[in-house]
Structures are given as C-alpha cells and as structure tokens.
Amino acid sequence: MKPAPFRYHAPTTLYEALATLAAVAPDDGRVLAGGQSLVPIMAFRLARPTHLVDINGVAELRRMAIVEDKLTIGACVRHAAFYREACEGPLGRLLASVVRHIGHHPIRTRGTFCGSLAHADPASEWCLVAATLDAEMVATSSRGARTIAAKDFFAGIMTTARAEDELLTQARLPLLPSDTRFGFCEFSRRAGDFALAMALVAYRLEDGAIVEPRVGVGAAEPRPRRIAQAEAALAGRTPGAEVFHAAADASADAVDPLEDHNTSADYRRSLVRTLTRRALERAAASEACR
Ligand SMILES: Cc1cc2nc3c(=O)[nH]c(=O)nc-3n(C[C@H](O)[C@H](O)[C@H](O)COP(=O)(O)OP(=O)(O)OC[C@H]3O[C@@H](n4cnc5c(N)ncnc54)[C@H](O)[C@@H]3O)c2cc1C
C-alpha cells in the first residue's frame, strides 16, 4: 500500500519549522524525523497526516552536547550516534549498551532518540532510559518552550504530554556519578523485534550498601516507569542474590502488565521478575565505573 496524499514541508530553520507546525498541526500535520515509525504506519494507512514537517534540514537540531550536568540530545540525533559513548562515564556506556537492542542497524542510522520519545511506544528502549533516569524533555512551539519531566511526559501507549503544535526539540539526560553501576536486560522473541518486557537498573554503593537505586520497567505496561517498591527493596541493602530476588519480586508485584493475543499478563509479569533480577545481576557484575 502507498501512503495517503500529504503535503511535504522542508524547513531549514527552527523558526520556520515551528511556524509551519503551528499552521498545519490542526489539520493533522506531523513532524517527520527519522521516519522509522511514521513512514511504516503511513504506508499501512494507519496514519494519514495531511502535512509532514521534515525537520532533518534544521542544523541546530542535530546537536548533542553536555550542558551543565546533563547530556542534551537534539531532535535529529540518530540512534546510531550512541554506538560510541556520547559522554565520558557511566551514562555514555549505558546508552552504548542499550542502543544495540533497538531494531536493526539501518533503523538505527535513521531513527532518532527524540523521535522515539515523541512516538512513545511502550516497548521503546529510549523511553525506558528517559523514565528510569528522570530525563527532561523540551517541547517548543511558536508559543514558547517548556520543560517536561519524564514522569509527566509519558501518558500512555503512544501518548505523551506534548501538544500537537509542539516540537520535541531536545531531551536532557542527567550525567551519572562516576561510580554508578547499571544493568539493562530485555526479552524479545527474535533479535531486532520489539521487546515483550525490559528492565534498566542503576545504583551506587556507599560502605557496601546500595544508594540511589533506580529500577525502571518498560514494555510491560502502557508506559515505562520507575518502580518505587523495587527501589525500596534495594535501598540501604548489600547487593546479593537475596536482595535482588526481593527487588525482582517487588517489580513483578507492582506492574499491571499489558496483554495481547500472543502474550498473557502472567507471562509478562514473570518476564518482569526475571529481567529485573538479571539487570541487577549485570549491574553487580559490571565493574564500578572508573
Ligand atoms: C522494523 C522496525 C523495528 C523497530 N524496532 C524498534 C525497537 O526494538 N525499539 C525501539 O525503540 N524502536 C524500534 N523501532 C522504531 C524506531 O526506533 C524509530 O526510529 C522510532 O520509534 C521513531 O523515531 P523516528 O525518528 O524514526 O521518528 P518518526 O518515525 O519520524 O516519527 C515518529 C512519531 O513521532 C513524531 N515525532 C518524531 N520526532 C518528533 C519531534 N522531535 N517532535 C515531535 N514529534 C516528533 C512524528 O510526528 C511521528 O508521529 C523499529 C522500527 C522498525 C521499522
């Protein structure tokens, strides 16, 4: 099938992009970033935008930089930019270890970090990273810019707090302390498929005890989120099998898993338990960051 007819706009400045989006958004005008989610759904006519605002010609949206204590990722930064460590320290390593789980290489060379956040597929690895690390999203329109915390940004399956005339111009990830340990684990039936569940954990040790624990779960519920009960099971404890099992059980008990014709809620809950435990084991096995 071919996409339904649409008008194509190719702004070269942010000002022009925002003005075009403001004009066409009420007529289902949409942003085109990497096109790796939008183009397939247009080809199946599951989406029929009347206008596409292609942001790939806006040079300032291609920037990635460290500003104060955050890695700022512009709207046109592609997944493949994270093959190399985007910054020194654990955050760069974390992003480089997660990126290879996103689809396949050709998708990673076109798809964008911010496009994934805007699309908000529950099984997006970058959405899980954003939720677990408490990222900030900058949504900009001709009315101005606002910063939205990850916990308020993801509203449900492919739904975010972004208004239709807002461009997600930037995502900001906090740099992680140099002794942060992290582990990521996901399960999909075939390599490159969207995951059925995934877990990302991070913590530090002080006097042998876990501090600042973060446990995030994705693909299991309509939106990725931190699991406070699992974090409470870790805080102040010494890393080890018993503590990791307790945190994994807390994760599994806390989620309200999605169900579909292939995957029951019970199966997803069981995946959440296993993946949380494995992510914690990976974090413990990883060398503390130098
Ligand atoms: C076969 C296949 C397998 C895949 N596997 C995975 C996977 O395992 N994990 C995963 O996370 N993803 C996967 N993807 C999706 C891929 O990562 C996409 O790149 C990503 O979801 C969207 O990014 P994009 O830049 O391509 O956005 P686009 O496809 O261009 O846009 C997606 C949506 O977001 C909106 N949008 C995009 N950027 C912005 C912005 N800056 N501001 C406002 N709105 C915006 C668009 O209007 C559109 O509605 C897969 C895709 C394919 C085709």
Q: Is the pTM of this model over 0.95?
A: yes
pLDDT on residue 192: 86
Instruction: For residue 142, report the distance from its CA to the centre of ligand 1, in Å.
Output: 23
pLDDT value at 152 more than 50: yes
Residue pLDDT, tens place only, 155-174: 999 999 999 999 999 999 99
Report the separation in Å between the CA atom of 221 and the middle of ligand 1, taken as the mean of its atom positions.
19
> Would the CB of 75 count as within 6 Å of ligand 1?
yes
Q: Which residue from 27, 30, 37 has its CB within 8 A of the most atoms of ligand 1, so it is best to mutate? A: 37
Question: Do residues 231 and 214 make contact, with C-beta atoms less than 8 angstroms apart?
Answer: yes
- Index of the ligand 1 atom closest to the CA of residue 162: 43
pLDDT the model gives residue 289: 40
DSSP notation for 77-112 = -BGGGGSS-SSSSHHHHHHHHHHTTSS-HHHHHH-B
Query: Where does the pLDDT of residue 286 fall: very low under 50, low under 70, confident under 90, or very high at 90 and above?
Result: confident
Residues 6 or more apart whose Cβ sits within 8 Å of residue 289: 89, 90, 93, 176, 178, 179, 180, 181
Instruction: Give pLDDT, residue 100.
Output: 96
Residue 235 pLDDT exceeds 70: yes
Q: Please work out whether the CB of residue 107 comes within 6 Å of at least one atom of ligand 1.
A: yes
170 lines ligand 1 (CB under 6 A): no
Other beta carbons within 10 angstroms of residue 221's beta carbon come to: 20
Q: Is the dihedral of CA 8, 12, 18, 23 positive or negative?
A: negative
> Is any ligand 1 atom within 6 A of the Cβ of residue 130?
no
Asked if 219 and 132 touch (Cβ cutoff 8 Å), the reply is: no
pLDDT digits (tens, 9 = 90+) for 217-232: 999 999 999 999 999 9
- For the segment 145-154, the average pLDDT, to the nearest whole number, is 98
Which residue's CA is the nearest one to ligand 1's atom 33? 119
Confidence of residue 287 (pLDDT cuts 50, 70, 90): low
pLDDT at 126 > cutoff 70? yes
